[in-house]
Structure 1
Amino acid sequence: MTARHQQVADDLRRLIASGALAIGERLPPETQLAARYRVSTPTLREALELLRAEGLIEKFQGRGNFVRRPVERLAYPHGAANGLHMNVSSGEITAGVDLSAHLGTPLDTLITEYVCVSHRGDTPQSIAHLYVPNGTPYTTDATSDSPWGDDLVLAASETAPAAYSTDLVTARFPTAAEAQSLRISTRMPVLAVERTFITDDGEVVAYAHLVLPGDRTEATFVTPIGTATETTEKKAEAR
């Protein structure tokens, strides 16, 4: 027998698909929905969580649940996306063990943390945390081509220019705070990327981690593997 919360989710899914619950429409309060379906509030919330995980509804803190507008999948060719609206805030923290290891700084070094949340329209697309030793406090609402916000933050901090970066990419579920910021379910997988910005001299100028929702992200990676001429030369050297 189908679980009760799945039955509730099936009916709400049908109402959304038929247009009886229109895009952008606010669902009735949870107490009313629970009474309508004759289920407990926890059971009703399980049903709503299923719909959030499917991207059919989203919850706004203090406002309730709304039928979600279909999101635009945003491509990041070569790690960039045109015309993101970026909200940047900053604060100071002291480096703990992990952050000290990533940045190569002593414990308790003063670090500037930048929180960069990108939007396309009114839909949050990503959230990034950048950590810069002795960075300049910086707050802005601006257009950025980078989901990291590094084009804004590193310029403002006047750090040495990074020559390259190393990335660690994982897929996981979001934390509760990430899910709230991105307006997604904690059951919606995300792409998480840790990046270290490094100068030609090997100095680490910044460390960052970026979270991208799995339902609205496409990433393209291009890896040079040498030209045909280089390959021929390598074969000739090997003979």
Structure 2
Amino acid sequence: MTDSMRSRHHDIADDLRQQITAGSMQPGERLLSEAGLADRYKVSTVTLRRALAVLQGEGLVEKIHGKGNFVRRPHRKMLYVGGWGTLDPWTAAEPALRVTVRSTTVQAQANLTALLKVPAGSPIVETTCLSYRGESPHGLARIYMPRDLLPAGVLDDDSTCRDAVTRFAVLGPPPATFRETVCARPPTPDEASALRIGYASVVLSITRIATDSTGRVVEATFLTFPGDRVDAVFITHHGPDERQDPG
């Protein structure tokens, strides 16, 4: 029975995929309810949901809580500029892009103590940002700072700090150096849920460490973007001692 169910849900996914790619179902169009689709294909809702999960993992269908399943619209890509950790201002300022921001104080544990170079249990501020365009999440950022370095107003809904967070920018004074580690990987369960992507999807993961002129780590940021929704650009500038003297 398991093999039969597996085969059937793939058949359903194939049929719906063909309708979407052929244009019979348009981007943004709502699919029949899960009960309605299950009745159409003469299967249980469990089997039908497995078929939809296949299409969600492929990025063809998006499930919006409380509203249903929709044919996913093509995503407009955002630009991540390496070194500053910002989105390009034009995209970030786009009226259709909104960002939810939540800040809380936590105790440094495990990898955060190593990244921020603080003792275990030290108070640090965690700021979580989730950006949306319309109903679709575009990026997730988790920003960590030692509590004593936090700019005034971040926990008090200060608009200036929130404007910086909206662009995934460094919250404190401009740091002296950034170190960014970039990789492509599957999403964690929490990331897949927040970004509404399948576990088989690929995300662009960026870990950014900001250090001041004294060598103190002032911020550690974890950025996660669905691989089809962002382009990352890194620009290298030569120092003065590396430039040729024109004279």
> Given the two structures, how large is their TM-score scaled by the length of structure 1?
0.81
Q: Which amino acid aligns with 1:132?
A: M
CA deviations on 1:170-226 (whole Å, 9 max, x unpaired) are 211112222222222222110111111100110101111000101112112233468
Tell me if structure 2 keeps the 8 A contact 1:89–1:140. Answer: no
Tell me if structure 1 keeps the 8 A contact 2:129–2:165. Answer: no
Which one of the candidate residues 213, 231, 239 is aligned to 1:200?
213
Once the 2 structures are TM-superposed, how far is the Cα of residue 54 of structure 1 from its aligned partner? Answer: 1.9
Measure the CA separation in 1 of the matches of 2:111 and 2:59: 34
Measure the CA separation in 1 of the matches of 2:26 and 2:159: 31
SS at match of 1:49: helix
Tell me if structure 1 keeps the 8 A contact 2:176–2:211. Answer: yes
Cα RMSD, aligned residues only: 2.9
Measure the CA separation in 1 of the matches of 2:229 and 2:111: 30
- Provide the residue aligned with 2:32 in structure 1: 28
Tell me if structure 2 keeps the 8 A contact 1:171–1:192. Answer: yes
- Runs in 1 of length 4+ with deviation above 4 angstroms? 140-148, 224-227, 229-233
- Provide the residue aligned with 1:89 in structure 2: 102
Distance 1:72 1:140, change over 3 A: farther
Q: Is 1:137 aligned to 2:143, yes or no?
A: no
Q: Is 1:179 aligned to 2:199, yes or no?
A: no
- Provide the residue aligned with 2:75 in structure 1: 71
SS at match of 1:43: helix
Tell me if structure 2 keeps the 8 A contact 1:164–1:197. Answer: yes
- Provide the residue aligned with 1:149 in structure 2: 168
Distance 1:147 1:209, change over 3 A: farther
Measure the CA separation in 2 of the matches of 1:68 and 1:149: 25
**Identity level (%):** 39
Distance 1:4 1:225, change over 3 A: farther
Measure the CA separation in 2 of the matches of 1:40 and 1:141: 49
Tell me if structure 2 keeps the 8 A contact 1:81–1:146. Answer: no
CA deviations on 1:138-166 (whole Å, 9 max, x unpaired) are 54788858876225xx1xxxx44311111
Q: Which amino acid aligns with 2:108?
A: A
Tell me if structure 2 keeps the 8 A contact 1:86–1:141. Answer: no
How many residues align? The count is 226
- Structure 1: runs of 5+ lacking an equivalent: 234-239
CA deviations on 1:46-65 (whole Å, 9 max, x unpaired) are 22122112211101123221
Distance 1:93 1:231, change over 3 A: closer
Measure the CA separation in 1 of the matches of 2:121 and 2:105: 11
Tell me if structure 2 keeps the 8 A contact 1:114–1:130. Answer: yes
SS at match of 2:155: coil
State which drifts further: 75-84 or 61-70: 75-84
- Structure 2: runs of 5+ lacking an equivalent: 93-97
Measure the CA separation in 1 of the matches of 2:243 and 2:191: 45
Measure the CA separation in 1 of the matches of 2:116 and 2:194: 26
Measure the CA separation in 2 of the matches of 1:133 and 1:145: 17
Distance 1:29 1:181, change over 3 A: same
